[in-house]
Structure 1
């Protein structure tokens, strides 16, 4: 870090020399040994991924367009007017996602064909040609992160100037465009607080032998995630709100029954949330450091007197029986080790990325395909490997991860049903749907790559299938 503050005039001037393919389009050799051909291939993968996700969005848009009424499971819960309002919101969200996919595909291809990253590097060297290599990499990452944030501007303008008027978004319920642009400028400044020290650390680690570097990074992430797991089990997540220990005398009989049924050994807390986010509860920590957090907005009327609530929030939340079923679902996740399995899956995917990164990090042809010469910023390799070389693997990993996470939800619902909480869980899901009224339909193929949870309609249908089969014939516990 000391070199970051040395006088740049003391160093030797850096000159970018060597072969650069520039804006070449026609390769000399149609093989992966030619950087121009490799550039075409990388862009082809990006375009193929973009087309694939555009098709998924079109499937969802077609489903939205032909849906005229809420499903039969939502009768008495969602009116036709509420359905039409949720339909417009879903149209808005998917159209914005469609635009973002197209924009990202175009940007990613232009970054290679126009040598955008190499241009940022050249600008950095022109400004600080006497600075040491570590400082040049920090400046490059500062400019590059700013560029990535500015790429969001077209999406912001499209949403505010096209989608919001088209789908009747109330301007009083959204941030003004000028305010968003000011917030974006503030974010550009704030992000440098993380970029500068992170780049310095990565530069230091990059000087290590590459496989030692990969092992160190992976081991550090594993240790940090384990420590966070333990800390949240003791202190929860303080930024979400103030926690209050719920003793056995304050619990209603249904919640106590759920805890006894699952033999839960930890403590139970009610979290007074600072904001009205998604109502939820979760089990955190492991071993002796175990706690169950129940957000107050999951409870009926936030567990306070109705006259102290705004009128639009009166009646929101779950009653005692429904709350117990929802908590039982979270305890099922704990019993089935879903959090642990998710962490293992995450670390295996991270290790796969690091192995690919270690194999390709010093592959000069990749940097040449992006417009660099043999002199390039070391930190740009992280982005090139992730954004381009990892494209097929990332697409496959998203499907696998989302499939398993959705499977965890279904298996937890099945586990709850076998314990006799199925009917109450279905009622809880319907009540949460009634409170928020999201669009109930989701295209099955679109869901595979865009949602890590099944929709409420799918979960209710799954519980109904279990009830219809009735293989275990459980007696309702509550």
Structure 2
């Protein structure tokens, strides 16, 4: 067995151990639900205990990973050899200190979240929120029998609650953590407007989707799982289609890339690959953050390429340094991005997401009618709102499944990133991509050294050092061929 396989198995095993009680319960409940209903009348407190047991197990596992990474931040002061030519001691130290601050912030936020979750479940606040929603609905002459409308009120109530209780961390992360390390560019007014737009957009998108989903579950009969899956598939594709032209411009200003050598280079690269390019935009991301990025959007034809203005090479008057990438390096970055298109990574990800949704909805169809799931949250016998069933089953009961699936999805994402890098190398952009990755890591204060377990669990992209090593190996292999 290879070292990589052993490492993956070790990581998965640790996660399964942290949630073995939840897995055992779900497995029995799913496969032997009739037998359990007759023989094992779960006490409501036991159900809450099992949910919290896995939640705390996962939290402690992630806390352990964060402490491992924090130790690396504190003890590793040596610049890796692959980065010495482009990364100086000052930049490396800044990245290390940024990593320490982010890690500490993450630990505090995770502990706050699990404590809040414990209080919500132990105090049966979900039922309290439902009661409050019924009272608010009654004020507008909406009776409890109109479950869809009451569910919308409930979602608004819960969303606002989460918005408020998480706002201190949002403010601290933006105006203290990011500000301290030179990344935040938002004014207070910009931040408030951005948060309110996000909140309103959340309501505009989620409330109709939730309403239709509940309607399908109520009237879909034995085939509701199929209808629900088909509806969410259409909704997902619709949102992905309208995001670039409708949703994204609500938050950022997009301007066409002016004519010049960079535009000609991008158009030439797209033409060479037969990429259906319709437009090239620069997004003014610098009004929000100093972080940089590039991507393409569009599901079918007429795709657009988007460059953050922070990606373009310029002299930073405040920091007195040159940031961003040269035009050839930007082409190297875009060769990587177009590698995702050439390898059909977007469509593969969508397909896997749809399979996962079908599995989730199938499990929901088996589990959501168990009255004990509702009474465990404080609901009286006979009161079983569908929206509560969706939350309990998909987010709580299936949490172990979601957690392990997330691990494998993260690993698959890293595989896709390597494939996109290899594609750029095959187009002879190896040096440009390598130097661009190092510059972007430097500009974004991305600390290059990570604990293996931490990286395997959290990173959707390979680390900078792994990507550089992979590029070097690809060059060697091409020379051999």
Normalising by structure 1, we get a TM-score of 0.77
CA contact (8 A) 2:281 2:305 kept: no
Change (3 A) 1:180 1:32: farther
Aligned runs of 1:76-475 on 2, under 5 Å?
76-125=85-134, 131-133=142-144, 134=146, 135-152=149-166, 155=169, 169=180, 197=208, 199-209=210-220, 211-228=222-239, 238-239=249-250, 240-244=252-256, 250=261, 255=266, 258-259=269-270, 262-267=272-277, 269-276=279-286, 278-285=291-298, 288-301=301-314, 310=317, 312=319, 315-373=322-380, 374-467=382-475, 470-473=476-479
Q: Once the 2 structures are TM-superposed, how far is the Cα of residue 189 of structure 1 from its aligned partner?
A: 7.4
Q: Distance in 1 between matches of 2:369 and 2:390?
A: 11
1:350-376 per-residue CA deviation (whole Å, 9 max, x = no partner) reads 222222222222221111111211224
SS of corresponding position for 1:77? coil
SS of corresponding position for 2:375? helix
CA contact (8 A) 1:269 1:294 kept: no
CA contact (8 A) 1:112 1:371 kept: no
Q: Distance in 2 between matches of 1:185 and 1:399?
A: 32
SS of corresponding position for 2:127? helix
Q: Once the 2 structures are TM-superposed, how far is the Cα of residue 320 of structure 1 from its aligned partner?
A: 2.8
Change (3 A) 1:466 1:332: same
More moved, 352-361 vs 268-277: 268-277
Change (3 A) 1:53 1:31: farther
SS of corresponding position for 1:315? strand
Change (3 A) 1:313 1:360: farther
Change (3 A) 1:458 1:429: same
Change (3 A) 1:243 1:400: same
Q: Distance in 2 between matches of 1:185 and 1:251?
A: 36
Structure 1 unmatched runs, 5+: 1-28
Q: Once the 2 structures are TM-superposed, how far is the Cα of residue 221 of structure 1 from its aligned partner?
A: 2.9
CA contact (8 A) 1:234 1:285 kept: no
CA contact (8 A) 2:95 2:445 kept: yes
- The count of corresponding residues between Structure 1 and Structure 2 is 434
Q: Distance in 1 between matches of 2:318 and 2:112?
A: 41
Q: Distance in 1 between matches of 2:230 and 2:253?
A: 31
Change (3 A) 1:57 1:314: closer
SS of corresponding position for 2:385? coil
Q: Once the 2 structures are TM-superposed, how far is the Cα of residue 311 of structure 1 from its aligned partner?
A: 5.8
SS of corresponding position for 2:386? coil
Q: Once the 2 structures are TM-superposed, how far is the Cα of residue 446 of structure 1 from its aligned partner?
A: 1.2
The correspondence for 1:68, drawn from 71, 77, 84, is: 77
Change (3 A) 1:377 1:297: same
1:388-432 per-residue CA deviation (whole Å, 9 max, x = no partner) reads 112111111111111111111111112222332222211221222
Q: Once the 2 structures are TM-superposed, how far is the Cα of residue 62 of structure 1 from its aligned partner?
A: 1.4
Q: Once the 2 structures are TM-superposed, how far is the Cα of residue 157 of structure 1 from its aligned partner?
A: 8.6
Q: Distance in 1 between matches of 2:76 and 2:92?
A: 10
Change (3 A) 1:210 1:153: farther
SS of corresponding position for 1:78? coil
Q: Once the 2 structures are TM-superposed, how far is the Cα of residue 385 of structure 1 from its aligned partner?
A: 1.6
Q: Once the 2 structures are TM-superposed, how far is the Cα of residue 333 of structure 1 from its aligned partner?
A: 1.5
CA contact (8 A) 2:278 2:303 kept: no
Q: Distance in 2 between matches of 1:233 and 1:125?
A: 37
CA contact (8 A) 1:246 1:269 kept: no
Q: Distance in 2 between matches of 1:315 and 1:68?
A: 24
Change (3 A) 1:246 1:52: same
Change (3 A) 1:320 1:125: closer
Q: Once the 2 structures are TM-superposed, how far is the Cα of residue 220 of structure 1 from its aligned partner?
A: 2.5
CA contact (8 A) 1:402 1:449 kept: yes
Q: Distance in 1 between matches of 2:52 and 2:39?
A: 15
Change (3 A) 1:359 1:431: same
Q: Once the 2 structures are TM-superposed, how far is the Cα of residue 284 of structure 1 from its aligned partner?
A: 3.3
CA contact (8 A) 1:121 1:376 kept: no
Partner of 2:25: none
Q: Rg larger in 1 or in 2?
A: 1
